[in-house]
Amino acid sequence: MELCHSTVVRRALLAGIALLCLGISNAASADDAPVQAMWATKKLNFTFMGFTARYSCDGLLDKVRKILLDLGARPGPDLKVGPTGCDRGFGTPSRFPGVAGTVQVLVPLDDKAPPPETQPVNAQWQSVVIAPRGEPLNAAGDCELTEQIKQRILPLFTSRNVEYSSTCIPYQLQVGGTRLKAEVLRAEQPPPKAP
């Protein structure tokens, strides 16, 4: 029996949505105790090179900034990143857009005393899904970006148990074909204040 094109597309979209729903949780692992850590400055110099998707400088900056925060970068004025390689106007895809700057990331103290001016931070391992995210076809377009995030951005962070798989083929969209998940060291959130 032959399936019509719309049925195949509908099934692929539903499979992609199911994969997205399975990976939304950013919960801490139950068996992990808090970790003493400190903030460390890391330099970021990232240039995207791909075939399937094109990004404007501001579009890539927004995506990378969100991922940096999800991976546990210190928010606020300590996150100093900006666009690079902008050879076209605002909102227009560039040939080699990039993001450069500095980020503050947590590194474990490993039972050693921090430098005197450093305030230790309580941190926990948390599972973060980097891909797939969002609408399945857009997530499929990010497959090359996801691969480059795994290679060049994730190593800036204290991470473990990295799960990565990809069926990324240039100029083709593979819904649900790319997956990246890792446990990263993130600052503990203070308990919510009682009303």
Give the mean model confidence (pLDDT) for residues 32-53: 90
Which carries the bigger pLDDT value, residue 119 or residue 190? 119
* pLDDT confidence of residue 192: 62
Give the mean model confidence (pLDDT) for residues 89-99: 83
* pLDDT confidence of residue 189: 79
- Beta strands per DSSP E along the chain: 35-47, 80-84, 98-108, 121-131, 159-166, 178-187
Which carries the bigger pLDDT value, residue 106 or residue 177? 106
In a domain, 151, yes or no: yes
The pLDDT mean for the chain works out to 80
In a domain, 195, yes or no: no
In a domain, 158, yes or no: yes
Instruction: Give the total number of structural domains in the chain.
Output: 1
In a domain, 25, yes or no: no
| pTM as predicted | 0.76
Q: Is 70:127 a contact under the CB 8 Å cutoff?
A: no
In a domain, 149, yes or no: yes
Q: Which tokens hold the place of 69?
A: 């925060």
End-to-end, the C-alpha distance of the chain in Å comes to: 60
- Cβ–Cβ contacts within 10 Å for residue 131, how many? 26
For residue 58, pLDDT over 80 is answered with yes
In a domain, 9, yes or no: no
Give the mean model confidence (pLDDT) for residues 157-166: 94
Which residues, at least 6 apart from 63, have a Cβ–Cβ distance to it below 8 Å? 55, 142, 145
* Vertex 71 angle, CA 133 and 143, to 5°: 35
CA distance 136 to 22: 13
- Domain, as residue range, for 64: 32-187
* pLDDT confidence of residue 93: 81
